[in-house]
A and B are shown apart, each in its own frame.
Chain A
Amino acid sequence: MSSPAVAEPGVAIAARVRGLTKVYGTGDTAVTALDGVSLDFPAKSFTAVMGPSGSGKSTLMHCLAGLDAASSGEVWIGDVSLSGVSDRALTKVRRDRVGFVFQAYNLLPVLSAADNITLPLSIAGRRVDAGWLSAVVAATGLDALLARRPTELSGGQQQRVAIARALVSKPTIVFADEPTGNLDSRSGALVLDLLRRCVREFGQTVVMVTHDPVAASYAERVVFLADGVATRFLDGPTPEAVIDSMKRLGEG
């Protein structure tokens, strides 16, 4: 039950990789984390990336998001190529076109929830679109919590602040790295539902790295990685189908 890695012509693409290879170290100690991956992430889609430890899923996300440089191959965010550009240009891409949601929330303890949400705009020196901000705040259900500091929020609330922060700059694509890893299942479900609504209601593109089959089932499509290669694709996943695919992955 696999689908082609590359989208049909005419479909709008939010991010694209071609022949992406990442090698750590040199000589005998060289480790190939990604081995010629080619993938398209269509706009307004919710993709989960799964794979066992060491499969290269984190490396894929880091290279896609402009946090790490590829050894070879091409990466595009929208129509911008990330290959061989300066740190300054990469920073600008991350700032204007990419949103992040981290496992450990990574909010700034010195800022209120509201200030944490608008931080990317402040850094970029951009105006806050009040209408969009209130839509984001309403969607994340944070209206009553905006004045609080991160230390005064629960884990689930903190992660919702982090999602609001990722959405506020209207990025081309949002990357979520194990967003439910530190949450209990109820809070996790709320966060995943929120990510799904972001795609459906706001037309946001979301790529989520996870090892949790239930989390992956919220996505529209799951990409399975093994040994640095995209081996399987699963559209409209259910938790059972994901577990099944994972097992087959293990069988090789």
Chain B
Amino acid sequence: MFRVTVRGLLAHRVRLGLTALAIALGVAFMSGSFVFSATLSRALDALFSQGSAGTDVIVSHAVPGGGVASALGAAAQPVPASVLPGVRRVPGVLAADGDVSGRAVLLRRSGQPLPARFGVALSWPSDAEFQGVFTARQGRPPAGPGQVMIDRASAAAGDYSVGDHLEIAIAGRAMPFTVSGITGYGSASSIGGGSLAIFDLPTAQRLFGKAGTFDQITVRAAPGVSADLLRDRVAAVLPTGVVAVTAATAAATEAQQLNSQLSVLTDFFLVFAGIAVVVGALVIWNTFSIVVGQRTRELAMLRALGAGRGQVFGSVLAEALLLGCVASALGVLLGLALARGLALVLSSFGLSLPSAGLAVPWSGVLIGFGVGVAVTLLASVPPAYRATRVAPVQAMRLAAVADSSRFSVSRLLVRPLAAVVGGLLRPLPGRVGVLARGNAMRNPRRTGATAAALTIGLAVITATTVLVSSARADVSKQITAASRTSFYVQATSSDSGLTPALAARLSHVPGVTGVTPVQETDATVGGMSHRNVSGVDPAAIGRFASLGVTAGSVSALAHGGLLVSSAVASGSGWHLGSMVAAQFGSYGSFRLPVVGIFANTGPLTGYLVSTATFRADTGIRTDQVDLVRAPASALPALRAALTGYPGASLLDQAGYIKSQTAMLNSLLSVVTALLVLAIVIALLGVVNTLALSITERTREIGMLRAIGMRRGQVRAMVAAESVIVSVIGAVWGTVLGVGLGVGLAAAVAGSAVISVPSGQLVLYILATAAAGVLASVPPARRAARLDMLAAIAAD
């Protein structure tokens, strides 16, 4: 009897450990997200205040909705250079300097871009008061059109030293420079994972088409003059449209803007943490249900001895509370480790955050802990209630495991699939498949609950797959149907863009019959944010894409205005003549009339303006893609024409479709990776259920071993049961996910094409089956090692 007790305890420990892990993983994900976002936010604050060190007031163009134009933002209206002398004369100004920024990609000696997350170009501040952030300098500041100063990290990565020749891609085109100096940025060797190219002011103005203007003017206060006071004094001398803010406010605003973008990321993580917690709750509910079922006799005895229903309920809940607390504490610790890991991953991508160490927001940690405990308690309420229903008289009966044969939903969902999968496993030697199928169907509710945990994760993965696949098919169909372009010369980085000179250069390539540049930017149109707007040449675009104009005309774009796709028009209720508000970044807000509606977006977007309108309203001087009409034989000549343009990639139609859908694919990868956690938790549930079922079937397994079943066959039997449960979960998850995905693709995403990638979905199911085999390993091992004598001894 002592042996049995010890065995029971050991089994308990494993079971408690697994159950705790199921909830701990969800809590870890949740608290990890909070800690990571707090850490990131603190690091960004530090980064931005570092950038404005030595500056008290910033003068820039006013942006719609108030605030200040971001120095790193793509579209900001410039400040006339003529403003600077007036600012310098303001009493209390120690120093004032105008600067210009842009995008520049540093190249390796091989001509390939250096691995930086982004490439920033700045002008060198002439006044020493503003040079403080450029630390640990080597060499000299840039002077003259051929000189550049670069950051220490890029210099190390590209093995450049002072005096070396260096090529920099600006608007896609490689330009030669000499490294005049190398600098750090504050305490770091680079600017938040990006590269730095610093030119003297006239060079920067020329390179970025900002002659006679500044992006902003930085002002340093004389000793004893407060930033607020100086701001007010400076503001008084500025022309309309130009504003002054304190550097602290500007840094905070920028950090906050970036942070609000990053908080989307946190929300995204939290959604997946929520899914993980729900799956964990299912595992807990199932485990407690099984345990209460197995303890029926013990509970009945307690009741017979006079324990009240409340006491029985309380004892189950107390166990859950204890489990929840331990698991959630474990989860919070895991979460800290996870956040640390994420920070390390980020820095390995080159985004080294200036301040090391984690910011731990106690509110976030407490939320994670509280959710863990609450979910564990809630999940244990139904089993605890069932425990109170145990009648004292059941103590006197032989505690036979109920072979529930009544009709139920879970039976309906489990039985047909168990039959099919069991049928597939039938050829396994020694009736292993038949036994496994019988075991899986023995308690449909248990099998159903175990499988349901898997269903959730797979449903979301499948829905995302269907959505992405449909969107991809939609893009592909649009481009294939409406594009009349043979080649696409596309900017590798949409921030850097392509120089307009490239289109002219391409049109001179032998064999090329037509080239037209297309610009593109992210805008808020008609109140809807993150719309892609294209700038096109109204006279030429018709030769490169059959737009299928249904109202108005493309040529009307030449007089300003907006052409929208019929999908956009019907979605927004716009018609010819509607006035639509378009806001381009921080550049400005404009009202444009709808001058035409077209059916096919082809290689373009749903919103078209003329190139002239685009340049005027966005300030963007570069192109996104040059559409080229040429026979296939022109390919070598085109390729040759692109030497010296490392920022441009030459694509055929298939390649262009691939590049347009690359983002969707990485989205799918990220979602799948995040959901693998939910699958792992569900598999922990499978392990748990199998282990508990094996405890119940000790006698049966002992008998099977006694009459000659080999250990390998016992393991195969448990593995087969695990596969059946996993596949049931996977199949229902896939079915649900396809329904959800098709519905979402049609209703929300408005995909004209619905694509269900059945091959990929079958792969998911097979992968889940394989995972089921893995999950069966620990319980199968235990089953194979069961002591036969203990198994057949009557208890």
Contact = CB atoms under 8 A, between A and B. Distances in A.
Interface in A34-54: none
A65 B789 CA distance: 11
Interface string B692-708: 00000001101111111
Contacts of A96: 708
Contacts of B704: 108, 119, 123
A233 interface: no
A241 interface: no
A70 B215 CA distance: 92
Given A106-B699, A106-B792, A94 B708 contact: yes
B90 interface: no
Interface in B704-754: 704-711, 713
A123 B438 contact: no
B403 A123 contact: no
B442 interface: yes
Given A108-B435, A110-B435, A88 B710 contact: yes
A125 B709 CA distance: 10
Given A106-B703, A122-B431, A68 B789 contact: yes
Most buried by B among A68, A104, A165: A104
Contact of A120 (B435, B441, B707, B788): B707
B77 interface: no
B680 interface: no
A177 B707 CA distance: 14
A100 B434 CA distance: 22
Contacts of B788: 67
Given A102-B792, A115-B431, A123-B430, A108 B708 contact: no
A111 interface: yes
A123 B431 contact: yes
B403 A109 contact: yes
A251 B437 CA distance: 55
A76 to B, nearest CB: 18
Interface in A10-62: 62
Given A115-B431, A119-B431, A124-B430, A91 B709 contact: yes
B212 to A, nearest CB: 87
Given A104-B699, A108-B435, A110-B435, A123 B794 contact: no
Given A67-B788, A102-B703, A115 B434 contact: yes
Given A68-B789, A104-B794, A123 B713 contact: yes
Nearest to B439: A110
Contacts of A123: 430-431, 704, 707-710, 713
Interface string B766-795: 000000000000000000000011001010
Contacts, number: 79
B429 interface: yes
Contacts of B710: 88, 91, 123
B95 to A, nearest CB: 87
A103 B708 contact: no
A146 B97 CA distance: 98
Contact of A103 (B438, B441, B706, B794): B794
A151 interface: yes
A95 B707 contact: yes
Given A88-B710, A91-B710, A106-B700, A62 B438 contact: no
A95 B403 contact: no
A94 B707 contact: yes
Interface in A81-116: 87-88, 91-92, 94-96, 98-100, 102-104, 106, 108-111, 115
Interface residues on B, range: 20 to 34
B708 A95 contact: yes
Contacts of A151: 403
Interface residues on A, range: 20 to 34
Given A67-B788, A91-B710, A104-B794, A109 B442 contact: yes
Nearest to B441: A110
A125 B434 contact: no
Given A106-B699, A125-B429, A119 B442 contact: no
B435 A100 contact: no
Contacts of B430: 122-125
A100 B713 contact: no
Contacts of A165: 707
Contact of A91 (B435, B699, B702, B708): B708
A91 B705 contact: yes
Most buried by B among A68, A99, A120, A122: A122
A118 to B, nearest CB: 9
B711 to A, nearest CB: 7
A189 B789 CA distance: 27
A102 B713 CA distance: 22
Contacts of B713: 123
A110 B431 contact: no
Most buried by A among B700, B707, B713: B707
Most buried by B among A87, A98, A102, A123: A123
A177 B403 CA distance: 26
Contacts of A108: 435, 438, 700, 703-704
A119 B707 contact: yes
Given A100-B706, A123-B708, A67 B403 contact: no
A106 B701 CA distance: 10
Nearest to B437: A110
A151 B403 CA distance: 9
Given A67-B706, A100-B707, A124-B708, A110 B789 contact: no
Contacts of A120: 707-708
Given A108-B435, A115-B434, 17 more contacts: A67-B788, A67-B789, A91-B709, A91-B710, A94-B706, A95-B709, A99-B707, A102-B703, A103-B794, A106-B702, A106-B703, A111-B435, A119-B704, A122-B431, A123-B430, A123-B431, A124-B708
Interface of B: 403, 429-431, 434-435, 437-439, 441-442, 699-700, 702-711, 713, 788-789, 792, 794
Interface of A: 62, 65, 67-68, 87-88, 91-92, 94-96, 98-100, 102-104, 106, 108-111, 115, 119-120, 122-125, 151, 165, 177
Closest 9 CB pairs between A and B? A95-B708, A110-B438, A122-B431, A106-B703, A123-B430, A94-B708, A123-B709, A125-B429, A120-B707
